[in-house]
Structure 1
Amino acid sequence: MSLISVKNLTFSYDGSYDNVFENVSFQIDTDWKLGFTGRNGRGKTTFLNLLLGKYEYSGTIAANVNFEYFPFNVQNKEYNTLDIISDIFPHYLHWELMRELSFLEVSEDVLYRPFDSLSYGEQTKVLLATLFLKENSFLLIDEPTNHLDMKARKLVSNYLNTKRGFILVSHDRSFLDNCVDHLLSINKTNIEIQKGNFSDWWENKKRQDAFELAENEKLIKDIKRLSNSAKRTSGWSHEVEKTKYGTRNSGSKPDKGYVGHKAAKMMKRSKSIEKRQQSAVDEKSKLLKNLERSDSLKISQLDYHRTRLAELENVAIFYGEKMVCKDISFTIDQGDRIALLGKNGSGKSSIIKLICGEDIDYTGAFRKGSQLKISYVSQDTSHLQGNLTDYAAHNGIDESLFKSILRKLDFSRVQFEKDMAAFSGGQKKKVLIAKSLCEKAHLHIWDEPLNFIDVISRMQIEELLLEYSPTILFVEHDSEFCKNIATKIIEL
């Protein structure tokens, strides 16, 4: 066991408007299975890169360990998988590699195939197995669940549960719950560590937020009372000051010295109350420093003129001679929230393309309502570049509504001025989701919308779908999200 000690860490990117971290201090035990969470853009990957020594910073990071980062940067994906592993870790022992691969249910034959012929899930498992061959290292595992199907996520989570000595960045609640024993969270104004899994942290977070909200209500009432009192006192001092000069119909002359003294006392009391008021405001700000805003989102889906929107009956889909799926039968009716499940390569995205109107070779019967308007969220975010204002105009959506939704999804106003190409993976997915929520459609189709999306935003999206019950077909490997949202499950 050893410690990673972070003291007074401060960091900002060149040309940035603000610090990513400011005077942050904490310690990590290298025996922990440490989950790492926080809203998109808060600096999770940045912190991992600081540990790796990639950026200059002020403060200190003291560690008597080597760091290894996952995912590895694989340059020549056309090479055989075994050659890729040798490039990453030349001194591996074959029997140890086979042991790790067996734990992850990867067959030996993948080692002798080109790496780019492996599925995303197989690539992830092979690279994780290679990572854990590196002894005496503290492992930095950055979002391994992206592109893993539900079965593979469970398998990898069980695998990580048998290991120790890592930081795991993930937004999948069930995945984290199964394989971490501490949680590191980047909050609005600090970083904190708690013992337990994600659910333990979330319960503590809700209790803390509830306490802060209750304190906030007290402070608001107190501030209102103090403000009213200050106004009354200021009014009294003003009225007393006026009596120094008497009234037009008064026959007596006031004692200006006495009245002025009384007015001054009144004004001093008013200023004292105002100071107390400002002090209360400061206390309120301090208490609410880590309260996460998760305002509700809204969706305005168009009504369709009939109940049934689409129907597939014994559909099989082909790419050339290859059949990717067969015997697919289901209906999409208004109000359905359909989870399309299945392992990677089972044809989920192909079915979505068919419904969206792409030219797909298929057999069987496919019927779609006339004039059906579909809002589609793709897995791919690589096309996003330029500013948000131009993007909204290009897609014909209301810019103010679009940016309002992004604000609720924890975008700062500074982000609105940046090029989307510089956004984090999670922020790019939020752009696509916000665009979809602005579009007038009868049916929403979302293909793996939650990749890279932070946990609090996932919960916001869940609340949206439960409250407004839009008709939606989605592919998603987050088991908690599917369990909470789906009214119908189609498993391929």
Structure 2
Amino acid sequence: MSLIQVQNLTFAYEGSYDTIFDDISFQLDTDWKLGFTGRNGRGKTTFLNLLLGKYEYEGTIHASVDFDYFPFPVRNRESNTLDVVDEILPDYEYWQLSRELSLLKVTDDALYRPFSSLSNGEQTKVLLAALFLKENSFLLIDEPTNHLDLDGRQIVSDYLKAKKGFILVSHDRAFLDNCVDHILSINKTNIEIQRGNFTDWRENKQRRDDFELAENEKLKKDIKRLSEAAKRTGKWSDEVEKTKTGIRNADFFVDRGYIGHKAAKMMKRSKSMERRQQEAIDEKSKLLKNIESSEQLKLAQLAYHKSRLVELDRVAIRYGEKRACEDVNFTIEQGDRIALMGRNGSGKSSLLKLICGEALDYEGTLRLGSQLKISYVSQDTSHLQGGLTEYARSCGIDESLFKSILRKLDFARVQFEKDMSAYSGGQKKKVLIARSLCERVHLHVWDEPLNFVDVISRMQIEELLLEHAPTLLFVEHDSEFCANIATKVVRL
């Protein structure tokens, strides 16, 4: 066991007005299984990069372990997987690697195939197995679940549960609950560390927030009273200052030196009172700063003139000689929220694209309602660039509503001035979701919409969907989200 000590850490990107970290201090135990959570854009990936020494910063980070980052950057993805492992760790015993892969349900034959030929889930597992073979290494695991299906998430979560010495960035609640024993949370005004899993942390956070909200009105009254007192004190100071000029009556002049001395003492006293009052105002105001806003969002989906929107009858999709899926049968009725589930490569995304009108080679029958309007959220965010105003205009959506939804999903106003290409992965996903929610349609089709999206925003989106009950077809590997939202499940 050793400690990672962070002292007086301050960091901002060059040319940016936003300070990511401001004089923060804490320490971590290298034996911990640490879950790392916080809103998108708060600096989770930035902190990992600071540990890796990628940026210059103020303060100190002291550790007696080496840091390794997941996902490991593979330079030649056409190399055999075994060569990729050799690049990560030149000196290891083959039986050790075979044991790790067995725990992750990956067969040894994957090592003798090109790395690029492995599925995303297999690539994730191989890289984790190789990195955990390193001795005296503390792993920084950045969102490993984004390319894992539900079964893969369970396997990797169980694997990490048996390990120690890592920081795990993930927004999957069930995944975190299963495999971490501490939570590192980036809040609005501080960083905190707590023993337990994500649910433990969230329940404690909710209790604190509830207490602060209950105190809210009392604090506002106190702040108002102190502010008024500070104004009165300031006014008194001004009046005292005027006496320094001396006072004349009919028979004599008052000693200005004496008046000046008394005035100075009274001024010092009044300024001291004013300072204490302002400190009290600031202290009380701080109590409200860490509450995470989760305002309700609004959605107005168009009503369709028929109960049935879509029907698939024995549908199979082909890519050349290969079938992505076959014998698919289901209907989408108005008000359905259907979770489309299956292993990676089972054809889920292909089915969504087919329903949205993409020209794919398919067999069977697909019936779409006449004049059916669909809003599609894809997995890909690479096309997002330019400003939000131009993007809203090009999509034909209401700009004020679009930005209002983003504000409620924790976008700071300064983000509105930035190019979308500079956004984090989670912020880009929020742009796509907000755009979809602004579109006047009959059916929403979302393909893994929550990749990179922070936990609190996920819960906001859940509340929205439950309250407004739109018709929705979605693919998502967050088991909590699926369990809370889906009215039907279609398994491929």
Partner of 2:325: 325
Partner of 2:468: 468
1:280 Cα shift? 6.0
The amino acid of 1:331's aligned partner reads: T
1:223 Cα shift? 4.8
The amino acid of 1:115's aligned partner reads: F
Deviation string for 1:361-390 (max 9, x for gaps)? 111111000110000000000111111111
The amino acid of 1:468's aligned partner reads: H
Partner of 2:42: 42
Partner of 1:190: 190
1:296 Cα shift? 1.1
Deviates more, 1:340-349 or 1:207-216: 207-216
TM-score (norm. length: structure 2) = 0.90
User: In the aligned structure 2, how far is the partner of 1:171 from the partner of 1:25?
Assistant: 24
Q: How does 1:87-236 map to 2 (within 5 A)?
A: 87-223=87-223
SS for the counterpart of 1:22 is strand
Partner of 2:417: 417
Partner of 2:339: 339
Partner of 1:311: 311
User: Given that residues 226 and 278 in structure 2 are in contact (C-alpha distance below 8 angstroms), is that contact kept between their aligned partners in structure 1?
Assistant: no
User: In the aligned structure 1, how far is the partner of 2:278 from the partner of 2:443?
Assistant: 50
User: Given that residues 10 and 57 in structure 1 are in contact (C-alpha distance below 8 angstroms), is that contact kept between their aligned partners in structure 2?
Assistant: yes
Asked if residue 357 in structure 1 is aligned to residue 332 in structure 2, the reply is: no
SS for the counterpart of 2:477 is coil
User: In the aligned structure 2, how far is the partner of 1:34 from the partner of 1:399?
Assistant: 39
Partner of 2:486: 486
User: Given that residues 171 and 454 in structure 2 are in contact (C-alpha distance below 8 angstroms), is that contact kept between their aligned partners in structure 1?
Assistant: yes
1:102 Cα shift? 0.3
The amino acid of 1:116's aligned partner reads: S
1:323 Cα shift? 1.0
User: In the aligned structure 2, how far is the partner of 1:48 from the partner of 1:285?
Assistant: 31
Instruction: Quickly say closer, same or farther: Cα 1:190–1:231, change in 2 above 3 A.
Output: closer
User: In the aligned structure 1, how far is the partner of 2:231 from the partner of 2:29?
Assistant: 55
Asked if residue 57 in structure 1 is aligned to residue 57 in structure 2, the reply is: yes
User: In the aligned structure 1, how far is the partner of 2:320 from the partner of 2:361?
Assistant: 8
Where structure 2 has 5 or more consecutive residues not aligned to the other structure, the ranges are 235-266
User: Given that residues 3 and 28 in structure 1 are in contact (C-alpha distance below 8 angstroms), is that contact kept between their aligned partners in structure 2?
Assistant: yes
TM-score (norm. length: structure 1) = 0.90
Instruction: Quickly say closer, same or farther: Cα 1:330–1:23, change in 2 above 3 A.
Output: same
Deviates more, 1:150-159 or 1:386-395: 386-395
Aligned length: 462
The amino acid of 1:284's aligned partner reads: K
Deviation string for 1:91-129 (max 9, x for gaps)? 122111100000000011111111111110011011111
Partner of 1:442: 442
The percentage of aligned residue pairs carrying the same residue is: 76
User: Given that residues 223 and 284 in structure 2 are in contact (C-alpha distance below 8 angstroms), is that contact kept between their aligned partners in structure 1?
Assistant: no
1:465 Cα shift? 0.3
User: In the aligned structure 1, how far is the partner of 2:3 from the partner of 2:219?
Assistant: 40
Instruction: Quickly say closer, same or farther: Cα 1:230–1:76, change in 2 above 3 A.
Output: closer
Partner of 2:302: 302
Partner of 1:403: 403
Partner of 1:245: none
The amino acid of 2:200's aligned partner reads: D
Partner of 2:76: 76
Instruction: Quickly say closer, same or farther: Cα 1:19–1:224, change in 2 above 3 A.
Output: closer
SS for the counterpart of 2:415 is helix
1:221 Cα shift? 3.8
User: Given that residues 387 and 420 in structure 2 are in contact (C-alpha distance below 8 angstroms), is that contact kept between their aligned partners in structure 1?
Assistant: yes
User: In the aligned structure 2, how far is the partner of 1:231 from the partner of 1:84?
Assistant: 68
User: In the aligned structure 2, how far is the partner of 1:137 from the partner of 1:231?
Assistant: 57
User: In the aligned structure 1, how far is the partner of 2:471 from the partner of 2:35?
Assistant: 34
User: In the aligned structure 1, how far is the partner of 2:14 from the partner of 2:271?
Assistant: 44
User: Given that residues 216 and 284 in structure 1 are in contact (C-alpha distance below 8 angstroms), is that contact kept between their aligned partners in structure 2?
Assistant: no
Instruction: Quickly say closer, same or farther: Cα 1:438–1:281, change in 2 above 3 A.
Output: farther
1:228 Cα shift? 8.9
User: Given that residues 51 and 61 in structure 1 are in contact (C-alpha distance below 8 angstroms), is that contact kept between their aligned partners in structure 2?
Assistant: yes
User: In the aligned structure 2, how far is the partner of 1:233 from the partner of 1:47?
Assistant: 44
1:187 Cα shift? 0.4
1:220 Cα shift? 2.5
Instruction: Quickly say closer, same or farther: Cα 1:221–1:102, change in 2 above 3 A.
Output: same
User: In the aligned structure 1, how far is the partner of 2:162 from the partner of 2:450?
Assistant: 27
User: In the aligned structure 1, how far is the partner of 2:99 from the partner of 2:182?
Assistant: 27
User: Given that residues 4 and 30 in structure 1 are in contact (C-alpha distance below 8 angstroms), is that contact kept between their aligned partners in structure 2?
Assistant: yes
User: Given that residues 223 and 277 in structure 1 are in contact (C-alpha distance below 8 angstroms), is that contact kept between their aligned partners in structure 2?
Assistant: no
1:274 Cα shift? 9.4
User: In the aligned structure 2, how far is the partner of 1:8 from the partner of 1:224?
Assistant: 33
Where structure 1 has 5 or more consecutive residues not aligned to the other structure, the ranges are 235-267
Partner of 2:291: 291
Superposition RMSD in Å: 2.4
User: Given that residues 374 and 441 in structure 2 are in contact (C-alpha distance below 8 angstroms), is that contact kept between their aligned partners in structure 1?
Assistant: yes
SS for the counterpart of 2:375 is strand
User: Given that residues 37 and 186 in structure 1 are in contact (C-alpha distance below 8 angstroms), is that contact kept between their aligned partners in structure 2?
Assistant: yes
SS for the counterpart of 2:147 is coil
User: In the aligned structure 2, how far is the partner of 1:230 from the partner of 1:69?
Assistant: 52
User: In the aligned structure 1, how far is the partner of 2:275 from the partner of 2:31?
Assistant: 50
Instruction: Quickly say closer, same or farther: Cα 1:464–1:273, change in 2 above 3 A.
Output: farther
SS for the counterpart of 1:188 is coil
User: In the aligned structure 1, how far is the partner of 2:360 from the partner of 2:456?
Assistant: 37
Partner of 1:376: 376
User: Given that residues 376 and 436 in structure 1 are in contact (C-alpha distance below 8 angstroms), is that contact kept between their aligned partners in structure 2?
Assistant: yes
User: Given that residues 330 and 490 in structure 1 are in contact (C-alpha distance below 8 angstroms), is that contact kept between their aligned partners in structure 2?
Assistant: yes
1:275 Cα shift? 8.7
User: Given that residues 227 and 274 in structure 1 are in contact (C-alpha distance below 8 angstroms), is that contact kept between their aligned partners in structure 2?
Assistant: no
Partner of 2:452: 452
Partner of 2:261: none
User: Given that residues 377 and 432 in structure 1 are in contact (C-alpha distance below 8 angstroms), is that contact kept between their aligned partners in structure 2?
Assistant: yes
